[in-house]
Each structure stands twice: as structure tokens, then as C-alpha cells.
């Protein structure tokens, strides 16, 4: 339970604060429309007015928030500044997409409440125009402002129409339909099934958010929600005058005819800041993408892994970071994230790319990975890089004893870490804070070992040379094997080097017994973990 | 973008439209709006669309992810044969179903969403996609190969006696040392 609190405490706190602000805004704006100013509006609409305005306020708040978690350059920058103060706070920034989704669900929910309330509002407005009986207050109120068309209350001005027609002839209605459609299309194309299989559909449809935000800003421009003006409240007190309708405007009466006006649109005040931040983010991404990146080396590894070694002026990375790679000759619009597998100490940066889909396949062919003769450097395609962006691996060197666990291709950040370890400890012989590294690699098949095994082999050789064998302790677990291979392993059990990896430390089979591992490590290093 | 099966997105959009039609219809009927008959129609149409679209189709390439408990719906939808298999039929059906909902404000959103779903289904149909039911795979009974029926007639080949002699100096290592390599 204590672990849960330490790991999730800050996240839960952030979520609770966010929910709290939503609840506060909802209640506050609900109550704001129960004031005197809105008395006559409520005569027409009842509680549906407040039920529409309260989620509108929450929508303003959430639409402001939704752009922020996807400004990854901004988040990287924040991460750098927060790191020195609090590591847990910096880790929250890794959950930006989860927060983005939560806010999106909240927007969908509030949109539903807002629309249902307005359905009732339209119906009530229409009712007021259709029941043309001068003794009914709603009808009298609807007739106000028919002369100058400025001080009216009921946005439906005649009885010769229907709510659907009004929907398509008002700014609020048109923008409302457009942005709701955009929202629905964004949501249906963001379902996990579509996202995982056809990322392009998800990504291109998601750009409908531009229409969403433009429509949102103009949604209130028609000032369709109208309340009594302040000067009018002086001459017509609703408490007193609502029962004396016949007297309105008569000479000598204390009740003038009330005048109404709409509120100026408020949404732009909420969303303008984040919109500008997001535009800046896209400009930064665009600028970075135009900086020259040169491919210095292309290496083909077994099991369809392509290694690209690149250089860019002024590129600086930390261990375990990732970059977005774009290859204009393959696709002008696709940016794909890859973990950097080189160490910061090297003069190039590299990424190992598994060839699994159409983009990676096309990249492999463009980089002439399928040809064996050396290629001229100018034949290699132009590449653009966005990043590097940070992940949790940056914290590795702040701890004395470190356990690294990677599964399958997820081991790539550790390639960067182990290389950096090698450079720091062995070459420069710096005194690093980290004293011991336990590395666990779980893998389903033997083929995936090759490129990483080379790295481990060279590390091992270097460590034996320098006599620091016990700095790094690694355990490789093979979780799937075929019968024929099993026989081979049994026979070569006594060989000095492992039959699969060629390393001194033997490959283990199955999954590790984590309870044992954790208790062993904790026992060996009391107080450090 | 060449490999996309548009029907998958059309399916998500149509299911969402069904739910929106249903909700709009319920609001229209509960609020007793003018023209509530259209709302009642929307409830029926929305429910029908949800039932039709709930079972996901099997993908031509890749793994298909079922929705929870979709098997009974799959069986029902499958029983209509070519009517539900063909996406042209679905596209026109959705277009037709959406029209009456356009006459009432409460259901107009459902109408437009279903119209969009119908367009995506049309695109899917033009590309030659069709609906395939996801059925549980039948258990394959494994039969042993013919060669396993007869026991070997001859003893295995042995190397000459010199190589067969055990290495007395390293008995431990000798236990694992095969004169003929095992595996590849």
C-alpha cells in the first residue's frame, strides 16, 4: 500500500484537483444563472438554462487543458527544469497522453450534457413563439424587441420556423453542429482498434481539432444567450413586475418594458493561450525538422533490424531518450518515434529500427539496406529528426544500485545506458555514483539477441580486461524455445561461453522469479533501494 | 494508407451514430417535443443500428479483436447472408435510416453521423471489402505422422570403436560430449 501511494500518489492528486475544478466550475456557473438578471430568461427556459451554461464553462476549461499535454517540446523543457526539484513531478509528465485522453472523455461528456440541455432550450423557445396568447408571459417576452431587433430575449423571432431551421441559421447552431461532428469523428477514429491498426487515419482525422477550436471560438459570437441589461433592471424589477405584465411601458407605471442583451463570447479568453502555445510547438517541430541530418552509417543486423547512425550539428542527448524520425522520400507527413541506442559520449547518434510495417520497410529500401555493396553517402535519403525527448531512463545515474528490466525490443534504452556506463567507467574512469547495475533481459526468441549480444560481449571483454567484472550483473531470460534448440542447450551446458549469446554469463530459461530476485538484491544492498 | 480497411472505421462511426440516435430519440420522447414521433422512430432505428453494428467483422489481414459478448450478435447478423455481408447494402440502408431523423432537432446529429458512416461504408464497398463473421476456430485433431507408426528396424549408426572410447581424463565433460552433433 505504501508503494502504491509513493508511485501513484501524485497522479491521483492531480486527477482529484482536476475533477475538483470541474465540479467547482459546474456548480459556480449553474448558480450564476439563477440570479436576477436571468429571471425572465428562466421564465422561458426553466432550469435548462443553467444545465446548458454550466457544462459550457467546464468545456472552456477542458478545451484549454487538452492542448497542453501534446506540446512535447514544452513538456521536455518543463521536464528539464523540474528534474532538479522533484523527480516524481517530472515523472508525471510521462503520462501526458493518459491525461489528454481523460480530458477528451470529459469534453465528450460535457458536450453531451450541453447539447441535451440546449435541445430543451430550443424546444421551450419555440413553444413560447407558438403559443401566441397575450396573457402568457413567455409570449409577451418573446414579442419584446420585435421593432428594433436588438433588445429581444427569444432568439427565435417568428413562429414560421422550426428548431432545426433555427439551428442552421444561427452562428451558434452552425458552429455547434460543425464542432460536434468534428469531435465525434475524432473520437471514433481514436478508438484503440483503429489507432493500433491504421495510425494514419487516426492522425489525419485528429487534425479536425483545428476546425473544432475555430468553431469553438466563434460559437458564442452570436450572443444567443440573453439576459436583462443592467440599466433595464433599474426600471423593471422582475420580482415586482413579472406579475404586472399589462402595465409594462404604460405612462406612470413603475415597470418599463425590459431590454435584453447577450453576453460577449468568453471562450477565446480560455483557449487563446494554449492555442498559441500549440502553434509555437508546431513551429518548433517544423524548424527542427529542417535542420540538416546526415546518415553516416547504415548497418543491417540479423532479425530484420536496421541501425542508422546519424549526425546533426548541435545535437545533444541524454541516456535513454528518444527521437522522432521522418524520411521525406518515404512519407512527408509521418514521424515515428525511436529510442536512441547510442551513448551521449559518442560523436554520432544511432537508432535501431525493427522492420515491421510499410514505413520501416520503405525506409530500409531507401537506405539501401538490402544491398551488399557500399553505397555513396549522397545516395542516402534525407532524414529529419525531432527531439530528443526525455523518458524515465535519465534518472539512472542518480541511484547507487540500479535494476534494469527490459522485454524484447524494449531493451533499446538500455543499450544507450550500458554504452554510457562503459564510456564513463571504463574509458574515462570517472567515479560514477552508480556502483552496481543488475540488468534483466526477457526475450521470446534467440534471433533477437544478436545485435545486443555484440554490445554485451564487447562490454564483457572490456570489463574482464579492466578487472571490474562485478560492476554489471546481467541475466538474460529466454522465454520461448523449440525442441531442437532445447536439445542443443542441454548438450552444451558445460561450455564456457553461452551457446546462444557467446557470453560468459549463461542464458536462463523461462521467466525470472521476481520475488527471489528482489529479495536477493535487497539483501545484498541494504538501504540503497 | 493503402492497407486500411475502411469498414473498421465505418463500423465504429456507425455504432457511435446508433448510440447518438438512441440518446436523441430518448430525449425527444421524454421531453415530449413537437414531432416526438420522429424521436420514437430514432429510438427504434438507433437500437437496430447498434445491434447490426455491434459484431465486428473479421479482418482480411491481421488479428481481429472481438467486442465483448459479440458472438450471439455475430450469429444473428450472419443469418441474413448477403444482406449483411455486402457493404453496399449497409451503406444504402444507413443512408435511408438516417433521413427521417433529420426532421427533428434532437435527432439531427444522429442523422448526420449515420450519413457519414454510410459514406465510409460506401468507400469500403467500392474497395471490395465485405463483412466476415468472427467464429471460434474448431479444434484440430492432431494425427501422428505416418512415419511414426513403425519402430526403427535397424540400430542407429555408430562411429568406429576408437571414437566411442570414453575419455577417462575428463569423465564429467565426456558425459556431454557427443561424437555426432545434435541439432543443426
Q: A119–B178: do the CB atoms touch at under 8 Å?
A: no
User: Of the ranges A31-45, A474-488, B42-56, B116-130, which one carries the lowest mean pLDDT score?
Assistant: A474-488
pLDDT in tens, A207-228: 999 999 999 999 998 888 888 8
User: CA-to-CA distance for A326 and A384, rounded, in angstroms?
Assistant: 5
Q: A181–B113: do the CB atoms touch at under 8 Å?
A: yes
Any B CB within 8 A of A165 CB: no
Task: Write the CB contacts of A492 (distance below 8 Å, at least 6 apart in sequence).
Answer: A499, B176
Q: B113–A194: do the CB atoms touch at under 8 Å?
A: no
Q: A487–B182: do the CB atoms touch at under 8 Å?
A: yes
Q: What is the mean pLDDT of chain A?
A: 83
How many C-beta atoms surround the C-beta of residue B128 within 10 A? 8
Residue whose C-alpha cell reads 554504452 in the numeric block: A419
Counting beta carbons within 10 angstroms of the beta carbon of residue A326, is it exposed (0 to 12), middle (13 to 18) or buried (19 or more)?
A: buried
Q: pLDDT-derived band of residue B178, with 50, 70 and 90 as boundaries?
A: low
Residue of B nearest to A176 (CA): B109
Residue A56 near residue A115, CB atoms below 8 Å: no
User: Of the ranges A211-225, A424-438, B52-66, which one carries the lowest mean pLDDT score?
Assistant: A424-438
- Highest mean pLDDT (candidates A86-90, A167-171, A522-526): A167-171
Residue B48 near residue B72, CB atoms below 8 Å: no
**Kind of pairing between the strands at A384-389 and A293-301:** unpaired
- Three-class secondary structure of residue A203 per DSSP: helix
How high is the pLDDT of residue A9?
82
Residue whose C-alpha cell reads 451503406 in the numeric block: B91
The residues facing A507 across adjacent strands are: A476
Q: A119–B106: do the CB atoms touch at under 8 Å?
A: yes
Q: Does residue A170 have a pLDDT over 50?
A: yes
User: CA-to-CA distance for A63 and A194, rounded, in angstroms?
Assistant: 24
User: CA-to-CA distance for A91 and A11, rounded, in angstroms?
Assistant: 9
Residue of B nearest to A117 (CA): B27
Q: A194–B12: do the CB atoms touch at under 8 Å?
A: yes
Counting beta carbons within 10 angstroms of the beta carbon of residue B149, is it exposed (0 to 12), middle (13 to 18) or buried (19 or more)?
A: exposed
Residue A409 near residue A354, CB atoms below 8 Å: yes
Q: Does residue B174 have a pLDDT over 60?
A: no
User: CA-to-CA distance for A320 and A419, rounded, in angstroms?
Assistant: 11
Q: Which residue has the higher pLDDT, B40 or A244?
A: B40
Residue B71 near residue B105, CB atoms below 8 Å: no
Any B CB within 8 A of A188 CB: yes
Q: Which residue has the higher pLDDT, A490 or A435?
A: A435
Within 13 A of B68's CA, how many CA atoms are on the CB side?
A: 0
- Residues of B in Cβ contact (< 8 Å) with A156: none
Average pLDDT over residues A508-521: 76
Q: pLDDT-derived band of residue A421, with 50, 70 and 90 as boundaries?
A: confident
SS (H, E, C) A464-475: HHHCCHHHEEEE
Cell of A233: 433592471
- Residues of B in Cβ contact (< 8 Å) with A111: none
Q: Does residue B124 have a pLDDT over 80?
A: yes
Residue B9 near residue B1, CB atoms below 8 Å: no
- Three-class secondary structure of residue B55 per DSSP: coil
Residue A310 near residue A349, CB atoms below 8 Å: yes
Q: Where are the beta strands (DSSP E) in A12-125?
A: none
Average pLDDT over residues A78-87: 71
**Helix (H) or strand (E) segment spanning residue A296:** strand A293-301
How high is the pLDDT of residue B35?
87
How high is the pLDDT of residue B117?
95
DSSP state of A428: S
How high is the pLDDT of residue A62?
96
Average pLDDT over residues A319-345: 85
Q: How far is B9 from chain A (nearest CA, A)?
A: 6
Q: At what angle do helices A171-189 and A96-130 cross, to 10 degrees?
A: 140
pLDDT in tens, A457-486: 777 777 777 776 677 777 777 777 666 666
Q: A193–B8: do the CB atoms touch at under 8 Å?
A: yes
Q: Does residue B69 have a pLDDT over 60?
A: yes
How high is the pLDDT of residue A113?
95
- Residues of B in Cβ contact (< 8 Å) with A487: 182-183
The residues facing A384 across adjacent strands are: A326
Residue A446 near residue A479, CB atoms below 8 Å: no
Residue of A nearest to B179 (CA): A491
- Which of B3, B5, B8, B9 to probe by mutation at the A interface, max A CB count within 10 Å? B9
Residue A217 near residue A21, CB atoms below 8 Å: no
Q: Which residue has the higher pLDDT, A303 or B148?
A: A303
- Picking from A394, A325, A401, A402, the residue whose alpha carbon sits closest to that of residue A364 is A325
SS (H, E, C) A39-53: HHHHHHHCCHHHHHH
User: CA-to-CA distance for B29 and B47, rounded, in angstroms?
Assistant: 15
Q: Does residue A278 have a pLDDT over 90?
A: yes
ipTM (interface predicted TM): 0.76
Q: Does residue B1 have a pLDDT over 50?
A: no
Q: Which residue has the higher pLDDT, B130 or B151?
A: B130
Task: Write the CB contacts of B110 (distance below 8 Å, at least 6 apart in sequence).
Answer: B17, B18, B20, B21, B22, B23, B24, B25, B42, B46, B98, B101
Residue A482 near residue A509, CB atoms below 8 Å: no
- Residues of B in Cβ contact (< 8 Å) with A198: 1, 3-5, 8-9
How high is the pLDDT of residue B142?
60
Residue of A nearest to B25 (CA): A116
- Three-class secondary structure of residue B41 per DSSP: helix
Classify residue B102 as left (phi > 0), alpha (psi -120 to 50) or beta: alpha
Any B CB within 8 A of A43 CB: no
User: CA-to-CA distance for A475 and A521, rounded, in angstroms?
Assistant: 13
User: CA-to-CA distance for A311 and A368, rounded, in angstroms?
Assistant: 18
Q: Does residue B167 have a pLDDT over 80?
A: no
Q: pLDDT-derived band of residue A232, with 50, 70 and 90 as boundaries?
A: confident
How high is the pLDDT of residue B171?
58
**Kind of pairing between the strands at A322-326 and A384-389:** antiparallel
Percent of chain B with pLDDT over 70: 75
- Which of A119, A187, A487 to probe by mutation at the B interface, max B CB count within 10 Å? A119
- Picking from A270, A266, A244, A265, the residue whose alpha carbon sits closest to that of residue A256 is A244
Any B CB within 8 A of A408 CB: no
pLDDT in tens, A353-368: 888 888 888 898 888 7
Cell of A171: 452562428
Opening angle at CA A405, ends A361 and A464, nearest 5: 95
User: How many residues are recorded in chain B?
Assistant: 184
Q: How far is A142 from chain B (nearest CA, A)?
A: 19
Q: B16–A188: do the CB atoms touch at under 8 Å?
A: yes
Any B CB within 8 A of A230 CB: no
How many C-beta atoms surround the C-beta of residue A6 within 10 A? 10
Residue among B8, B16, B105 minimizing CB distance to A184:
B16
Average pLDDT over residues A281-291: 86
Q: A198–B108: do the CB atoms touch at under 8 Å?
A: no
Q: A119–B23: do the CB atoms touch at under 8 Å?
A: no
Residue among A188, A193, A492 minimizing CB distance to B13:
A188
How high is the pLDDT of residue A393?
65
User: CA-to-CA distance for A197 and B65, rounded, in angstroms?
Assistant: 11
Cell of A207: 487534425
Residue among A185, A200, A484 minimizing CB distance to B183:
A484
Q: B105–A123: do the CB atoms touch at under 8 Å?
A: yes
Any B CB within 8 A of A94 CB: no
Mark which residues 464-503 of A lie under 8 Å from B by CB. 484-485, 487-488, 491-494
How high is the pLDDT of residue A380?
82
How many C-beta atoms surround the C-beta of residue A2 within 10 A? 6
Cell of B157: 549408426
Q: Which residue has the higher pLDDT, A95 or A494?
A: A95
Counting beta carbons within 10 angstroms of the beta carbon of residue A462, is it exposed (0 to 12), middle (13 to 18) or buried (19 or more)?
A: middle
- Residues of A in Cβ contact (< 8 Å) with B105: 119, 122-123, 162-164, 167
Amino acid at each position: 500500500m505504501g508503494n502504491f501511494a509513493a508511485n501513484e500518489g501524485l497522479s491521483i492528486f492531480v486527477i482529484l484537483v482536476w475533477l475538483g475544478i470541474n465540479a467547482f466550475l459546474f456548480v459556480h456557473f449553474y448558480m450564476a444563472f439563477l440570479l436576477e438578471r436571468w429571471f425572465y430568461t428562466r421564465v422561458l427556459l426553466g432550469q435548462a438554462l443553467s444545465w446548458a451554461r454550466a457544462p459550457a464553462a467546464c468545456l472552456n476549461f477542458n478545451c484549454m487543458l487538452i492542448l497542453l499535454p501534446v506540446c512535447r517540446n514544452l513538456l521536455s523543457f518543463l521536464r528539464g527544469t523540474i528534474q532538479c526539484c522533484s523527480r516524481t513531478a517530472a515523472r508525471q509528465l510521462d503520462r501526458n497522453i493518459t491525461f489528454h485522453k481523460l480530458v477528451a472523455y470529459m469534453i465528450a461528456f460535457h458536450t453531451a450534457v450541453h447539447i441535451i440541455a440546449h435541445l430543451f432550450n430550443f424546444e421551450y423557445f419555440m413553444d413560447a413563439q407558438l403559443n401566441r396568447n397575450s396573457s402568457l408571459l413567455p409570449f409577451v417576452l418573446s414579442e419584446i424587441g420585435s421593432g428594433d431587433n436588438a433588445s429581444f430575449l427569444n432568439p427565435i423571432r417568428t413562429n414560421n420556423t422550426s428548431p432545426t431551421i433555427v439551428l442552421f441559421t444561427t452562428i451558434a447552431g452552425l458552429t455547434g453542429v460543425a464542432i460536434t461532428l468534428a469531435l465525434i469523428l475524432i473520437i471514433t477514429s481514436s478508438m484503440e482498434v483503429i489507432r493500433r491498426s491504421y495510425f494514419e487515419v487516426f492522425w489525419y482525422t485528429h487534425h479536425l481539432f483545428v476546425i473544432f477550436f475555430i468553431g469553438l471560438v466563434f460559437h458564442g459570437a452570436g450572443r444567443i444567450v440573453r439576459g436583462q441589461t443592467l440599466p433595464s433592471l433599474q426600471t423593471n424589477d422582475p420580482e415586482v413586475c413579472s406579475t404586472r405584465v399589462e402595465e409594462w411601458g404604460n405612462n406612470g407605471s413603475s415597470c418599463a418594458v425590459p431590454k435584453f442583451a447577450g453576453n460577449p463570447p468568453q471562450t477565446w479568453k480560455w483557449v487563446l493561450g494554449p492555442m498559441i502555445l500549440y502553434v509555437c510547438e508546431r513551429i518548433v517541430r517544423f524548424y527542427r525538422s529542417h535542420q540538416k541530418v546526415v546518415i553516416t552509417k547504415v548497418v543491417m543486423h540479423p532479425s530484420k533490424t536496421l541501425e542508422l547512425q546519424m549526425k546533426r550539428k548541435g545535437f545533444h542527448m541524454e541516456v535513454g531518450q528518444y527521437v522522432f524520425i521522418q524520411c521525406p522520400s518515404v512519407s512527408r507527413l509521418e514521424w515515428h518515434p525511436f529510442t536512441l541506442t547510442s551513448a551521449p559520449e559518442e560523436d554520432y547518434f544511432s537508432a535501431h529500427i525493427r522492420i515491421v510495417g510499410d514505413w520501416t520497410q520503405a525506409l530500409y529500401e531507401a537506405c539501401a539496406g538490402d544491398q551488399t555493396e557500399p553505397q555513396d553517402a549522397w545516395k542516402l535519403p534525407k532524414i529529419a529528426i525531432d527531439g530528443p525527448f526525455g523518458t524515465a531512463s535519465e534518472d539512472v545515474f542518480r541511484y547507487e544500485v540500479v535494476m534494469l528490466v527490459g522485454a524484447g525490443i524494449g531493451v533499446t534504452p538500455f543499450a544507450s545506458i550500458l554504452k554510457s556506463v562503459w564510456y564513463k567507467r571504463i574509458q574515462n574512469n570517472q567515479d560514477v555514483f552508480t556502483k552496481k547495475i543488475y540488468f534483466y533481459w526477457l526475450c521470446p526468441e534467440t534471433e533477437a539477441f544478436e545485435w545486443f549480444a555484440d554490445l554485451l560481449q564487447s562490454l564483457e571483454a572490456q570489463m574482464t580486461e579492466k578487472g571490474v567484472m562485478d560492476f554489471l550483473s546481467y541475466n538474460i531470460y529466454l522465454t520461448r524455445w523449440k525442441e531442437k534448440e532445447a536439445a542443443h542447450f542441454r548438450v552444451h551446458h558445460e561450455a564456457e561461453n553461452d551457446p546462444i549469446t557467446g557470453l560468459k554469463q549463461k542464458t536462463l530459461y523461462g521467466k525470472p522469479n521476481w520475488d527471489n530476485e528482489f529479495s536477493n538484491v535487497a539483501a545484498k544492498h541494504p538501504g540503497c533501494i | 494508407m493503402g492497407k486500411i480497411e475502411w469498414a473498421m472505421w465505418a463500423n465504429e462511426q456507425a455504432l457511435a451514430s446508433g448510440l447518438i440516435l438512441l440518446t436523441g430519440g430518448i430525449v425527444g420522447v421524454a421531453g415530449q417535443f413537437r414531432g416526438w414521433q420522429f424521436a420514437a422512430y430514432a429510438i427504434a432505428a438507433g437500437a437496430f443500428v447498434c445491434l447490426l453494428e455491434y459484431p465486428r467483422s473479421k479482418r482480411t489481414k491481421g488479428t481481429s479483436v472481438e467486442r465483448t459478448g459479440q458472438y450471439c450478435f455475430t450469429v444473428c447478423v450472419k443469418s441474413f447472408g448477403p444482406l449483411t455481408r455486402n457493404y453496399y447494402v449497409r451503406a444504402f440502408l444507413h443512408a435511408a435510416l438516417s433521413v427521417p431523423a433529420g426532421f427533428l432537432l434532437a435527432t439531427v446529429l444522429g442523422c448526420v453521423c449515420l450519413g457519414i458512416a454510410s459514406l465510409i461504408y460506401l468507400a469500403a464497398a467500392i474497395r471490395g471489402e465485405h463483412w466476415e463473421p468472427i467464429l471460434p476456430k474448431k479444434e484440430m485433431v492432431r494425427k501422428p505422422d505416418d512415419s511414426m507408426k513403425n519402430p526403427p528396424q535397424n540400430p542407429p549408426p555408430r562411429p568406429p570403436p576408437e571414437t566411442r572410447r570414453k575419455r577417462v581424463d575428463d569423465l564429467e565433460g565426456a558425459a556431454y560430449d557427443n561424437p555426432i552433433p545434435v541439432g543443426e
